[in-house]
Amino acid sequence: MPNIQTVSRVLRTALSHFGRLVCAAGLLAACGCASDANRNGRTAADYSVAGNLKKWQAVAIAFHGPTSDAADSQPNPFLDYRLQVVFHGPNGKKYDVPGFFDGDGQGGRAGTVWRVLFSPDETGRWQFKASFRKGPQVAVSLDANAGEPVAFDGAQGSFVVKLQNPNAPGYLKWGRLEYVGKFYLKFRDGPYWLKGGTDEPEDFLGYVGFTNTPKATHRFTNHVQDWRPGDPDWDGGKGKAIIGALNYLSSQHMNNLYFLPMNIGGDGKNAWPYLGPINPKGAATNDNLHFDLAKLRQWETVLDHAQRRSIFLHFVLNEAEAPNKKELDDGTLGVERKIYYRELIARFGHHLALQWNLCEEYDLDFKLEPDVVKSFAEYIQAVDPYDHPITVHQAGKPQKTWIPFLGFRPFTVTSFQTRDMSVVEFWRKASRAAGWPQVVHMDEVFPDNASAATADRHRREYTWPIYLSGGDLECILDELIKTDDYRKYETVWSYTWFARKFLEENLPFWEMEPMDHLLTGAETFQGKHNLVTGQVFAKPGEVYAIYVPDGSSPGTLDLSAARGKFVQRWYNPRTGEFDSSSKIIEGGKMVALGSSPSEVAEDWAILISRTKRDLW
């Protein structure tokens, strides 16, 4: 009986001849056929192009290469082969995109499929050419000539990308979220972005519906009701609860999800991308060089759905606990860490709105030295063709623990854990002075619980001061990794959304600056960790956003440098609505804001903007 390798070679040869005939007849619009021989004289296999072929939507190109199994070690298909595909756009843009071993292409661990996922940013004809090389640990090498060319190396082709539907779901209509040299990220074809979402559970991927997740703790049972017909699922309902959880967060306008792809030796000890065997507590014997194709396919289903529901993917690549930090190469940039980064980038980097956070609390427990952290960032930057934002999270005072990263170009965003709200304005000034304005993200700032009293205090002490100081935020929940039902925190989501909505719908916030000095005499609020004073966020002479923690005494606004007429309106942070009243005020002087129209003991926001007549 012929062995499986012989049968596979026969089938590939037959499919190759059939594919060339079909393509020559023009019968397969999404099929590309490589030439019989590439420039190295080696026989090239067929490839197939799949996807909707729309701008910003992932294009998947599958190549047929050597037969491998995800458990193989000699050679290891993840480590000892390297697929890179260079894409050239209609206007000369170039992307060098890492690919990955994909088994049988359907989640099975054995097969001949090697795949690349690419999100095109232009309409028109794209050309591509594959580099496929073999050699010991070639996958983690940044040397384009490492290893030797094999199989389909040199295969090339093209496809035509059409314009995206303006009503495409989620982020597909806006394109890639990017750093543009300002204090906010911006979608290439869409608006500037404000973050407001959840930090918990950090072990979101420790879900019982995922294959090979033996320590899974999350069921998200109360979110099965949020799954909708037409939503993705797998294995007869195993995906419904986690997909429903994303639907619920999206319905509450939460647009960020923080999660760990690998928490071996951390708090949860229930999520990792590996085939195994794995000791969840962390061990030098863990196999961190082979990946579970079925599990990663399920992760992709969930993460793709998140993007279609306008949820940003906050990948946190290491956890604070020492065993987790040391799990890969004993905390250094070695082979295990490099292949971990590469596989995540190759499989998920095509998504449009995400960031790579190198480590939770890098300076806690087993401290990672800043130079080591920088080496991690530089490697990711070298592999990621899309330049997604990169950052690292800290535990100590950011004014000290993040100073080594001030002006560090790979870090375009921060990830601050602190109860000191003054850090937002401090870091905007410091990073601007360093010549590299960094987007100020406040992560794991405060534990929210479901009580009305706590939600009320956090709204006053953290949410509005962060947003009106020019920062972004994520909410950490007091259940931490036990969080399994997001409905408990609906008040938190509502207050977060009301604040974000105020900025998104009424302000050119990306052009505004914190200017608290313009407000005097406002009543203060003593929070648990901060004395909250009146906040002013302004584009001088055009628009002023003011937050006062007490509506009885909002103070006086200095408009002496802004002549002309303005409209003053009151916004209720507890309902997300403007009061029906408004009044015309005259600039060029100090203006008393007067007491709020109702609920004078509560907090209020005030919008002061030019009248339409003055804008004309």
What confidence tens digit (pLDDT) does each residue in 473-504 have? 999 999 999 999 999 999 999 999 999 999 99
What pLDDT is recorded for position 530?
85
Query: Per-residue pLDDT tens for 250-266?
Result: 999 999 999 999 999 99
What pLDDT is attached to residue 446? 72
- pLDDT above 70: percentage of residues in the chain: 92
Residues 77 and 109: beta-carbon distance below 8 Å: no
Q: Which residue has the tokens 């360093």?
A: 434
- Per-residue confidence (pLDDT) for residue 15, from 0 to 100: 36
Backbone angles phi, psi at 257, to 5 degrees: -135, 120
pLDDT higher than threshold 60 for residue 531: yes
Residue 552's nearest CA partner among 591, 597, 596 is 596
DSSP 101-120: E-TTTTS-SEEEEEEEEE--
Give me the mean pLDDT over the 527-547 stretch: 93
∠ CA 165-168-172, rounded to 5°: 105
Proportion of the chain in helix, strand, coil states, percent, rounded to 5: 25, 25, 50
CATH among 3.30.70.141, 3.20.20.80, 3.40.50.300, 3.40.190.10 for 170-444: 3.20.20.80
Strand partners, 86: 96, 129
Is residue 173 within 8 Å of 167, Cβ to Cβ? yes
Q: For position 205, what pLDDT does the model report?
A: 98
Query: What average pLDDT is seen over the chain?
Result: 92
Q: What are phi and psi of 232, to 5 degrees?
A: -70, 155
Q: What secondary structure, in 3-state letters, does 66-87 show? A: EEEECCCCCCCCCCCEEEEEEE
Domain range 513-615, its CATH number among 2.40.480, 2.60.40, 2.40.300, 2.60.120:
2.60.40
What mean pLDDT comes out for the span 230-259? 98
Q: What is the pLDDT of residue 70?
A: 98
Residues 6+ positions from 316 with CB-CB distance below 8 Å: 202, 258, 259, 260, 357, 359, 360, 393
Strands (DSSP E) along 465-589, which ranges? 472-477, 513-514, 519-520, 525-526, 531-532, 535-539, 543-548, 556-558, 565-572, 577-586
Q: What is the pLDDT of residues 25-78, one digit of tens each?
A: 232 233 444 333 333 333 444 799 999 999 999 999 999 999 999 999 999 999
Per-residue confidence band for 611, with pLDDT thresholds at 50, 70 and 90? confident
Please give the DSSP secondary-structure letter assigned to residue 367. Answer: P
pLDDT at 295 over 70: yes
Q: Which is more confident, 339 or 11?
A: 339
The CATH class given to the 4-161 domain equals mainly beta
- Specify the pLDDT at position 614: 46
Residue 149 to residues 80, 139, 152, 346, Cα–Cα distance (Å): 12, 13, 8, 20
Question: DSSP character for 369?
Answer: P
- pLDDT the model gives residue 108: 97
What is d(CA 168, CA 7) in angstroms, rounded to the nearest whole number? 43
**Given this model, what pLDDT does residue 44 score?**
42
Which pLDDT score, from 0 to 100, does residue 40 have? 36
Checking if the pLDDT of 589 tops 70, the result is yes
Q: What confidence score (pLDDT) does residue 612 get?
A: 60
pLDDT in tens, 502-516: 999 999 999 999 999
Adjacent-strand bridge partners of 598 = none
Of 508 and 451, the one with more pLDDT: 508
H/E stretch holding 298: helix 293-308
Q: Encode pLDDT of 391-417 as tens digits.
A: 999 998 999 999 999 999 999 999 999
pLDDT band at 539 (very low <50, low <70, confident <90, very high): very high
Give the amino acid at 406.
L
Of all helices (H) and strands (E), which one includes residue 422? helix 422-433
CA 464 vs CA 144, 176, 267, 404, 517: distances in Å: 49, 27, 31, 29, 17
Measured CA distances, 102 to 19, 99, 187, 239, 290 (Å): 21, 9, 30, 21, 12
Q: Alpha-carbon distance 75 to 138, whole Å? A: 11
Residues 306-341 have pLDDT tens digits of: 999 999 999 999 999 999 999 999 999 999 999 999
Question: How far apart are the C-alpha atoms of 408 and 568, rounded to whole Å?
Answer: 41
The 10 Å Cβ neighbour count of residue 613 is 9
Q: Is the pLDDT of residue 452 over 90?
A: no
Evaluate whether 546 touches 606 at the Cβ level (below 8 Å). Answer: yes
Coil vs helix vs strand at 93 = coil
Question: What pLDDT was estimated at residue 1?
Answer: 39
Instruction: Indicate where the chain has its CATH 3.20.20.80 domain(s).
Output: 170-444
Is residue 196 within 8 Å of residue 473, measured between CB atoms? yes
